[in-house]
Amino acid sequence: MSAPLTVKPWIKRFPAVGRASSGPILVFPHAGGAAATYRGLATALSASGLDAYVMQYPQRAERLTHPATATVEELAQDLFDAADWSVLGELQLFGHCLGAVVAFEFARIAEARGVDVRRLWVSASEAPSAVAASPRLPTEDREILAHMLDLGGTDARLLADEDFVELLLMAVRADYEAFNRYSAAPDVKIRADIHTLGAHSDHRIAPDMLNRWQAHTGGAFARDLFDGGHFYITELAGPVAELIHGR
């Protein structure tokens, strides 16, 4: 059962319903994603008996005025420094797309600091060692919007709101630029188990791309696929939470 923890106010906690069945899980959003986007998943994790903490990156919501971090590693350090995670005992981490790479770097920092990480849940993300060779993410406004629409996950109706689009582009560009600077060697590993999740119809991350994460763990590796596209977790938060709880 997790211990009380004081965290920065921009980290959203969803306490376990009833007595927590195991250690907490930290959720890392996708590029441009705000913590509020993961309310559905966090609520499902809470209902399954897990304390869930959803991270908030700079340049959005309560952190709108916080300067963007230049690299994924700096973002992971920023989030690690937001609390004394060691008081919670053994952690699980869940990251979607870019969030999985941020969570991986968070795990590396945590393990180096003596914080126990039991498992990293990777959702719809290419492996760290594959990022540097992948096509660069766009950083110009029009190309960013086209890329986001192609991935799905953003209500097209919201893109008619100029103020919303301006703030969205600021957050996405910061994340994309950090991701474009990222690289990791194939032999960089964490001790924690890695369990990858993806979707059969995700045209961005194919199942075989998920398999490359196996090289980055010194523990166990597993993979599960769901129906849906890149943002399958929006519709399948319940089944994803059930799988995580079951493990």
All structural domains of the chain with their residue ranges: 12-246
* pLDDT recorded at residue 156: 67
pLDDT surpasses 70 at 151:
yes
Alpha carbon of residue 123 to chain centroid: 8
Name the H helices within the chain. 39-47, 72-80, 98-112, 128-131, 141-151, 162-180, 207-211, 232-235, 237-246
Can you name the residues that pair with 194 across neighbouring β-strands?
Answer: 120, 221
Domain 12-246: CATH superfamily, name plus number? Alpha/Beta hydrolase fold, catalytic domain (3.40.50.1820)
For the chain, state the CA radius of gyration. 17
The answer to whether the CB of 61 falls within 8 A of the CB of 89 is no
Beta-carbon contacts of 155 under 8 Å, excluding residues fewer than 6 positions away, are none
Average pLDDT over residues 217-244: 97
Residue 1 scores a pLDDT above 60: no
Give the confidence band of 4 by pLDDT, cuts at 50, 70, 90: low
Based on the number of CB atoms within 10 Å of its own CB, is 55 exposed (0-12), middle (13-18) or buried (19 or more)? buried
Model confidence, pTM: 0.95
d(C-alpha 145, C-alpha 143), whole Å: 5
Would you say residue 20 has pLDDT above 90?
A: no
The band of 153, judged by pLDDT with boundaries at 50, 70 and 90, is low
Give the C-alpha distances (Å, rounded to integers) separating 220 from 44, 90, 152, 197, 213: 25, 16, 31, 14, 11
Do residues 99 and 178 make contact, with C-beta atoms less than 8 angstroms apart? no
Percent share of the chain, pLDDT over 70:
96
The C-alpha atoms of residue 123 and residue 120 are separated, in whole angstroms, by: 10
Q: Tokens for 215, please give them.
A: 């090289």
Give the side-chain half-sphere CA count within 13 A for 113. Answer: 17
pLDDT band with cut points at 50, 70 and 90 for residue 2:
very low
In this structure, of 14-18, 27-31, 82-86, the range with the lowest mean pLDDT score is 14-18
